[in-house]
Amino acid sequence: MSRIVLVNPHGYRFIGDASMPLALIYVSIHLHKDHEVVIIDARFDKDWQERLRRELKKSPLCVGVTSMVGKQIASGLEIAKIVKAESDVPVVWGGIHASLLPRQTLEHPYVDMVVCGEGEETFRDLVRALDKREPLDAVAGLWWKSKGGIREGRPRPVLDLDALPDIPYELVDVERHVEKGPFGRSISMMTSRGCPEGCQFCYNTVYNARRWRGFKPWRILKEIRHFTEKYRVQHVLIQDDNFFVDLGRVREFAEGILSQKLGVTWEVIGVHPRILARVDDELLSVLERSGLTGVAVGVESGNQETLDRFGKNYKIPDLVAANKKLAATCIVPTYCYISGWPDETRQDLRQTVDLMFRMKRDNPKMVYGIIRPLICYPGTQIFSYAVSRGFVPPKKLEDWAGFAWFNYLDIDIPWTTREEKKWLIDLYYSTVMMNPEYVYVKSRLFKFFAKLHAPFMKWRVKNLDFRLSILPKVLLFIQRRLM
């Protein structure tokens, strides 16, 4: 039985995060029965380097690395360097970043192949070709190096999600990824891929070509039952890009939780305001009775002109009305925002802050959320706009390691000065500290610390006053150096 090694790089982790390496689990879906698949997670395995070296001595067919822009690039290259130094095993990269920039990724000497887009079938076909020593030309969705240079395979059609086999969660220690939160034993899962919206700052417009596909409700319910029966899971965190696209599917899913008496609560990260506004009172009642505890909504800006300009496609009054409807339920919304838009004025940002506090007045249960600086990711329309304004993208794979919001100060953004970026960083970390209940903050110690500082941080944000602002700078240092 051939051996496959998959490594999840160390990247940015939310405080207290214990999420499963879902990308690597999914890519193993066709392989784990006929091959021995080993998943190493550099986020949690302190001895990951030694584990990788031990696996290389067993001569695996390949080592796979997933990647997103930012710290995962640097960690992924460290992984690939070990493979190249100690074996002749080919290194295969996948994930969002490698899929958006396959040629540049392959130009790095540590990378031999790139799986573009969804990897379940492409990686299966690649492993089969490597195992049988067949040419790679027939592997759709693959880019690779040959003696003649970089080769590009034909595109692979999108997958029928419900045709996929059962997801092999047991390839990892699931218990390690069960989090203990306010709703009990919690686990993260995905129920759909993509998003049909046209937000100009989002990778989905190019990576998924504005396509959305969702698992059928019966399949999601089957997975949840598996988690509840085998791992005593009490709460499910759905991490979709846009869960509510198909409201009929949402209703069937919620009714299934009730009819099957699964006894779980659940929350959703990835809700578009326009679709949230379409949820009527009847469906809202079903969702509440089924155990929906919270939704995280991408508001992005309180300035309608900014929303229209960058393709967010909703009207602020509709969001305000939806928030008021949620106030009458037990469903707690978290609203997230973006700062540093092209040509954004201080008055535009004032409108965002005013909307944030207005929503809280209308719905006291609401969680404020955060205001995070904009990063123009490769492939997006706003990235092309930044280039047209004079932005020079990184020329090498390794240079993308610092291209993330935690390194915002050092990114050359044509429409923002260094002083303005410092101010936006202070705003961001102040919103983090006024949010002890923010969904991505899992650390009890941090929650306690944030509760102590929340009143003053709310004052700072509400007044946009960051003079003598020390704490945000401390948090930035911790984020960049220790996480």
What gap in Å lies between CA 207 and CA 194, rounded to an integer? 8
pLDDT at residue number 311:
95
Q: Which residues make beta-bridge pairs with 91?
A: 63
pLDDT at residue number 455:
85
pLDDT at residue number 475:
65
What gap in Å lies between CA 268 and CA 200, rounded to an integer? 22
CA torsion, points 196, 325, 463, 460, in degrees to nearest 10? -80
Question: Distances in Å between the alpha carbon of 54 and those of 27, 50, 83, 90, 368?
Answer: 22, 6, 11, 16, 47
Decide if 387 is inside a domain. no
Same-domain check for residues 234 and 297: yes
Look up the domain containing 77 and give its range: 3-145
pLDDT at residue number 457:
83
pLDDT at residue number 441:
61
Same-domain check for residues 183 and 331: yes
User: Most distant CA pair in the chain: distance in Å?
Assistant: 65
Other C-beta atoms lying within 10 Å of the C-beta of residue 139: 25
Decide if 446 is inside a domain. no
pLDDT averaged over 10-residue windows placed end to end, the chain, 483 residues: 93 70 96 96 93 97 94 95 97 96 97 97 97 95 93 93 94 94 94 94 90 96 97 96 96 98 96 95 97 97 97 96 97 96 95 97 94 92 95 95 85 92 90 76 69 83 83 64 52
Same-domain check for residues 141 and 237: no
Same-domain check for residues 70 and 183: no
**Angle at CA 229, nearest 5°, toward 240 and 334?**
30
Q: Which of 125, 145, 165 is the last residue of a domain?
A: 145
Decide if 471 is inside a domain. no
Cβ pair 76, 70 in contact under 8 A: no
Place of tokens 């919103």: 431
Decide if 382 is inside a domain. no
**What secondary structure does DSSP assign to 54-119, as a single string?**
HHHTT--SEEEEE--SSHHHHHHHHHHHHHHHH----EEEESHHHHHSHHHHHTSTT--EEE-S--
* Tokens of residue 188, six digits: 């993260």
Decide if 14 is inside a domain. yes
Same-domain check for residues 221 and 267: yes
Other C-beta atoms lying within 10 Å of the C-beta of residue 281: 9
Other C-beta atoms lying within 10 Å of the C-beta of residue 79: 28
Other C-beta atoms lying within 10 Å of the C-beta of residue 414: 14
Burial of residue 245 (number of CB atoms within 10 Å: 0-12, 13-18, 19+): buried
**Angle at CA 67, nearest 5°, toward 63 and 71?**
115
Q: What DSSP designation does 253 have?
A: H
Decide if 17 is inside a domain. yes
CATH, residue 191: 3.20.20.70
Burial of residue 289 (number of CB atoms within 10 Å: 0-12, 13-18, 19+): middle
pLDDT at residue number 480:
60
E strands, 164-232, are 179-181, 184-189, 192-194, 212-214
Same-domain check for residues 336 and 195: yes
pLDDT at residue number 81:
98
* Tokens of residue 242, six digits: 């846009």
Decide if 279 is inside a domain. yes
Coil, strand or helix: which one is 3?
strand
Same-domain check for residues 40 and 136: yes
pLDDT at residue number 263:
95
What gap in Å lies between CA 39 and CA 172, rounded to an integer? 7
E strands, 95-210, are 113-115, 142-146, 149-152, 179-181, 184-189, 192-194
Total domains present in the chain: 2
Cβ pair 406, 69 in contact under 8 A: no
Same-domain check for residues 10 and 140: yes
Question: Distances in Å between the alpha carbon of 127 and those of 1, 31, 41, 132, 462?
Answer: 12, 8, 21, 9, 55
Same-domain check for residues 135 and 209: no
Between the two ends of the chain, the Cα-to-Cα distance in Å is: 38
Same-domain check for residues 139 and 188: no
Decide if 327 is inside a domain. yes
Which of 293, 288, 266, 287 minimizes the C-alpha distance to 187? 266
* Tokens of residue 120, six digits: 């379940």
Same-domain check for residues 84 and 192: no
CATH, residue 36: 3.40.50.280
What is the residue type of 185? R
Other C-beta atoms lying within 10 Å of the C-beta of residue 19: 16
Q: Which of 356, 384, 412 is the last residue of a domain?
A: 356
Which of 124, 67, 74 minimizes the C-alpha distance to 96? 67
248's CB contacts (< 8 A; 6+ apart) are: none
Same-domain check for residues 218 and 289: yes
